[in-house]
Structure 1
Amino acid sequence: MMQENKIQAGNTEQVLLSKKNYHRAFKVVSIANPEQGEWLFNWRGKKLSQNLMSCDYAHTAIRISNNEEIVIYDKDLGSWAVTEWKYDVNLEELWKCACDAFSSTSFSPEERGAYYIRTYEEELNADIEKIPEEERERYISKYKEWVQILFNKHSRIMSAMITGPARFPSRRNEKMNNYYDNAVNEFRTWREKALKVISRKIEDAKPKEQKAEEEWTRLKRSIYSSASTIKGINDGTERGYNKALFVSSIYGKVETYTKRGDVIIVEKAIAYVRELNKQSSIITERHKFFKLAEMAKAVCEAQEVRSNKEDTEILFEGGRVIKNYSEDRVQIVFDTKPQPDVISNLKHNGFRWSPRFSAWQRQLTNNAYYAVSRVVPITVEQLMKGGEK
């Protein structure tokens, strides 16, 4: 029994090829002649005509068994069933919503709606390729929710070309445009933050050895790039460059790991530069670069001393400050969500929100104590003494 876009074939329900799904169809089969086997479907594989306003297409299909090619027109879509998709995650359930979104702004709302459906599907499928399996369902659901919001907001926008210029509500239309633009910005902000959080989770889940190896690979590549330019300067093939700047670049990148107490990577970097020095003078042995290993060891020892200290809490009305030695962070935890002006003040003083600790935090330094005193009613002296009154 035929349905809107499905057909019952024996015990299997097949999805008919349609304007809602033809852009993601990969393989199709003829309903009337299933014995011909599967065909590779090429959406808009043949251009029919083109003018300044539009371009008309037909679709092509290539029979897998013998490479026979045929043309499929839109009117014949319902004669084919899809057997395999290019991708499964789609926004087909938002088809009507997408078409309605452009009913007052386009002469071809179906075409415009379909274009946005395809664009969002492409972005969504690209996103989920980078997302772990356990995170995908929630991300897909939220993404679809946002797309529906955008379509609904766009449906309130009008065009005088479509609705007619008589008594056109220009002021109201401007508001609707602004609402839609704001929603798009909110959606983009949500997507960016969501992907960053997921990326951070992926990074945190990696084994320590893998993360260390990846960091070293990135640093080595960066050192090699700067060293290649320095070699060119030495050979006279790179002109107009300042060698000191490239040496400083290498030093600065390795110094970052020194401040973190990453002795292994710093030692690898120094050994690598010495190896490169055999080919051309990259950094002379007199340079302070070669003392970074000693500095890294000193930092590492200081970190060990701090990590053995017990964390200290200092209470204030509405929250507490934590001197977290193991994480090398000073953290502010509020009993309730702080007001916007307080959040602004926190950011202004270098604090960043940590979902992991549910706290506002920054590196544990003497400067951080002064920053805390500018945000909450605790003195620098209290922080220095560890909370003793």
Structure 2
Amino acid sequence: MTIATFENDALAVTAGSFSLALTVKQIERTWDALSHFPDRRARIELHDLAVRLNGFAGHVAAIVAKGGALDQPAELERFASRHVSLTLRAWAMDSRCMSWFVVGPARFPVDRNRKRMEWAENAFRVVGDHAKAARAAVERIAFPHGAPGGPIRASNPDAPALIRAEIEKHKAVHAQMKAANAVIRATKGQEPEARVQALVDATGWRETTARTCIYPAQSWMGQGFAAYQLSGQLAEIKRLEIRLANIERNRERGTVERTHNTTAGALRVVENGEAARIQLFFDGKPAASTRDLLKREGFRWAPSEGAWQRHLNNGGRHAVSRVVSALQVEEVLS
């Protein structure tokens, strides 16, 4: 899917009600003081903008194809409008910069130009960050509980069942690994074909898989599975079991709330078991120093919740304690 075309030195963008038409001639003067060939730079910039816009459109189309719930035209329009605006701003910042190779070294404003170059670099960094953030944002909208085949989020209503399935899968793999090692030890000295068939019968693997397990491509790899591979499976099973227990415990507790009187005003702390988040609610926007404190403790602003939040676990609870302590708690209100 494309929303931008760059042909014959002209860029055309159409995304919902947003449209844009730019030519190399219109913007090439932006780089007069930076390049001996500003038209080439303009051509590169328009091409790159088209690539970013179409890349996002393809990303959205792929999400929809996977079954994601998205208002595709609205998302494309929102992204194109904002991304083009940020790109034009970056170009404007670039137009204030100079290269002494182009303008000459005489009375060249070194310090002032250095500052302007830094500002331009930051502006282009914002453009790149926006493209990455927008992709992540549409994924969260389309799959609020995680994309199919992706990591299992604690907020997913089906998380316990999915984690149990993962545990059973790892247990089955571990059992196959142990069975394979047992067969390899028991058939030592037998004919290769007999050993391979015995391993196929014990594990249900394909013949090629069984043969590779007994006779690896590199002799240093050894036959079967090493102890660290077996222990790695056990460690993953243990990790999943602990995570499952934590999710079930949080859901059984339900939502737990308490309010503290602090120097930042009333602070409501909510342990949201269903969302798997520990949330901090303030009356209004906290001061800059408070926001810095929250960020240092791993909290991030969630506009959809109107709260500062992080994952609900013991680390999050300890972080809340540090925030409350730093804000000089006077008393618990409720």
TM-score tier, shorter chain, comes to 0.5 to 0.7
Distance 1:232 1:124, change over 3 A: farther
Contact 1:105 1:162 in 2 (8 A): yes
Supply the distance in 2 between the matched residues of 1:97 and 1:251 (Cα, whole angstroms). 63
Matches within 5 A, 1:1-389: 18-20=8-10, 92-93=21-22, 95=24, 98-131=27-60, 132=70, 133=72, 134-204=74-144, 235=214, 237=216, 239=220, 243-261=226-244, 302-307=249-254, 311-317=256-262, 318=265, 319-365=267-313, 368-377=316-325
Alignment-mate amino acid for residue 313 of structure 1: R
Q: Give per-residue Cα distances to partners, 1:86-139, cap 9 Å, x unaligned.
A: x86686336456312211122221221011110121122011221241311011
Distance 1:232 1:113, change over 3 A: farther
Supply the distance in 2 between the matched residues of 1:215 and 1:305 (Cα, whole angstroms). 17
Greater gyration radius = 1
Following superposition, the deviation at residue 328 of structure 1 comes to: 4.2
Distance 1:106 1:92, change over 3 A: farther
Supply the distance in 1 between the matched residues of 2:43 and 2:299 (Cα, whole angstroms). 44
The higher relative CO (CA closer than 8 Å, separation ≥ 6) is in 2
Supply the distance in 2 between the matched residues of 1:141 and 1:210 (Cα, whole angstroms). 37
Following superposition, the deviation at residue 362 of structure 1 comes to: 3.5
Taking structure 2 as the reference length, what is the TM-score of the superposition?
0.62
Distance 1:172 1:374, change over 3 A: same
Distance 1:189 1:340, change over 3 A: farther
**SS of 2:10 mapped into structure 1:** coil
The Cα RMSD (Å) is: 4.3
More helix by share: 2
Distance 1:249 1:341, change over 3 A: farther
For these two proteins, the number of residue pairs brought into alignment is 264
Please list every run of 5 or more consecutive structure 1 residues that lacks an aligned counterpart in the other structure. 1-16, 25-86, 262-295
Aligned twin of 2:202: none
Supply the distance in 2 between the matched residues of 1:103 and 1:324 (Cα, whole angstroms). 56
Distance 1:260 1:214, change over 3 A: closer
Alignment-mate amino acid for residue 163 of structure 1: V
Distance 1:330 1:122, change over 3 A: closer
**SS of 1:360 mapped into structure 2:** strand
Alignment-mate amino acid for residue 252 of structure 2: V
Distance 1:388 1:159, change over 3 A: closer
Contact 1:373 1:379 in 2 (8 A): no
Q: Give per-residue Cα distances to partners, 1:295-340, cap 9 Å, x unaligned.
A: x5xx565345223xx5323142423212334334332112233344
Distance 1:109 1:367, change over 3 A: closer
Contact 2:52 2:131 in 1 (8 A): no
Supply the distance in 2 between the matched residues of 1:215 and 1:174 (Cα, whole angstroms). 57
Moved more, 316-325 or 171-180: 316-325
**SS of 1:137 mapped into structure 2:** helix
Contact 1:98 1:117 in 2 (8 A): no
More strand by share: 1
Following superposition, the deviation at residue 213 of structure 1 comes to: 7.9
Please list every run of 5 or more consecutive structure 2 residues that lacks an aligned counterpart in the other structure. 1-6, 61-69, 149-155, 182-209
Contact 1:97 1:152 in 2 (8 A): no
